């Protein structure tokens, strides 16, 4: 009997111990499951920061138009940065030879920002009923009278002569006519003006087939390098300043579609920052910038671009100063020929003040 009682007590103790162990095991399993669930939820909440590629901000996209020649030279460093993926915006770039090509592209919305002559900016503003605005000025006067000889010392010396010129229907024609008139010479009567395509005129001048030519830099540089019989006789910027008309001869600017400006403030701010950097870089580094000009076909040869950059009168003017530069200039062009700026002086909202 004692043996039986002992066996029963051993069995009871064993069962009690087993039950106690089982009670401890259940909380341990539940705790494990809860911990696993919490860890899983934590991982889910941290997924965005754990995936760098999903948090990288895309660059603003901009369709940029650049005109060959002096108006486009200031953008050459920016185009190089863009090509290397180092620009603040991502630019889809078009480099074109004629301002009319840019005008049609901006008007149709195929370009967002573009470098154009200042008179074209006004004409396009009027054509689109305020659909474009001027963001910045980039080029002052770049026109020169070249002579094969040494007889022209002042504007009045052009009387009775024939000038071969480029830029019919654009800034060069209106500037030349205005300066001649203000010096008592009537275009077409006292002075004969024959307009030619820029490339053709450079070829003719370099070959010595014309005696007097009006051209912008860097075309001027090309002629002087290729035909040393030519000299720079007159700077039309200097002749403009002599008139003391209260305006600045400003020939190039940056425009943008009004709709794009309103919908893409970050892209506009980025552009203005890096375009100013580009202008300053080009002025300070003509050799490297000359190579960029050739690379992006803004100027045919790097050597010509490098030599021309100091004479390109590159500027960067934004904000309230734009109006200070252009208002008087537009007034003078309008009085000389209303069609030069699209038939009327643009309203003040053409100037983008930021």
In a domain, 7, yes or no: no
Of 209, 242, 275, which residue constitutes the final position of a domain? 242
CA distance 68 to 336: 27
List pLDDT tens digits, range 180-223: 999 999 999 999 999 999 999 999 999 999 999 999 999 999 99
**What's the pLDDT score for residue 246?**
85
165 shares its domain with 313: no
Average predicted confidence (pLDDT) for the chain = 87
Q: Tell me 350's DSSP state.
A: G
260 shares its domain with 345: yes
**What's the pLDDT score for residue 284?**
98
b/e for 328-344, b at 16 or more Cβ within 10 A? Answer: ebbebbbebeeebbbee
pTM of the model: 0.81
90 shares its domain with 70: yes
**What's the pLDDT score for residue 94?**
96
Domain that holds residue 162: 143-242
Strands 143-148 and 230-235: antiparallel
232 shares its domain with 317: no
266 shares its domain with 218: no
* CA angle (71 as vertex; 67, 75 as ends), nearest 5: 80
Under DSSP, is residue 10 helix (H, G, I), strand (E, B) or coil? helix
In a domain, 45, yes or no: no
In a domain, 92, yes or no: yes
122 shares its domain with 261: yes
What is the average per-residue pLDDT within 135-154?
Answer: 96
256 shares its domain with 188: no
Q: Is the pLDDT of residue 9 over 70?
A: no
In a domain, 42, yes or no: no
Other beta carbons within 10 Å of 41 = 10
106 shares its domain with 135: yes
List pLDDT tens digits, range 32-44: 443 444 344 444 4
CA distance 175 to 236: 8
129 shares its domain with 270: yes
């Amino acid at each position: 009997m004692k043996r039986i009682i002992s066996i029963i007590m051993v069995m009871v103790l064993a069962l009690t111990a087993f039950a106690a162990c089982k009670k401890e095991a259940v909380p341990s399993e539940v705790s494990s499951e809860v911990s696993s669930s919490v860890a899983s939820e934590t991982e889910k909440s941290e997924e965005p920061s754990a995936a760098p590629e999903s948090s990288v901000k895309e660059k603003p996209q901009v369709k940029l138009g650049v005109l060959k020649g002096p108006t486009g030279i200031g953008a050459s460093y920016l185009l190089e940065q863009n090509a290397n993926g180092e620009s603040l915006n991502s630019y889809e770039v078009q480099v074109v030879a004629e301002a009319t090509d840019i005008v049609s592209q901006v008007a149709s919305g195929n370009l967002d920002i573009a470098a154009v002559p200042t008179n074209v900016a006004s004409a396009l503003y009027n054509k689109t009923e305020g659909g474009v605005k001027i963001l910045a000025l980039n080029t002052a006067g770049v026109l020169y009278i070249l002579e094969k000889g040494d007889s022209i010392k002042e504007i009045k010396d052009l009387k009775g002569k024939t000038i071969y010129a480029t830029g019919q229907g654009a800034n060069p024609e209106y500037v030349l006519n205005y300066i001649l008139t203000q010096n008592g010479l009537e275009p077409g009567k006292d002075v004969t003006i024959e307009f030619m395509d820029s490339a053709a005129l450079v070829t003719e001048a370099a070959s010595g087939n014309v005696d007097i030519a009006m051209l912008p830099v860097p075309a001027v540089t090309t002629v002087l390098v290729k035909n040393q019989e030519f000299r720079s006789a007159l700077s039309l910027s200097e002749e403009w300043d002599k008139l003391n008309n209260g305006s600045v001869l400003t020939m190039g600017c940056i425009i943008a579609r009004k709709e794009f400006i309103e919908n893409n403030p970050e892209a506009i701010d980025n552009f203005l920052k890096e375009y100013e950097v580009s202008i300053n870089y080009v002025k300070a580094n003509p050799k490297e910038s000359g190579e960029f000009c050739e690379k992006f076909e803004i100027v045919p040869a790097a050597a010509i671009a490098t030599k021309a950059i100091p004479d390109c009168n590159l500027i960067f003017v934004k904000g309230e100063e734009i109006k200070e530069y252009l208002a008087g200039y537009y007034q003078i062009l309008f009085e000389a020929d209303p069609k030069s700026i699209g038939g009327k002086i643009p309203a003040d909202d053409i100037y983008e003040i930021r």
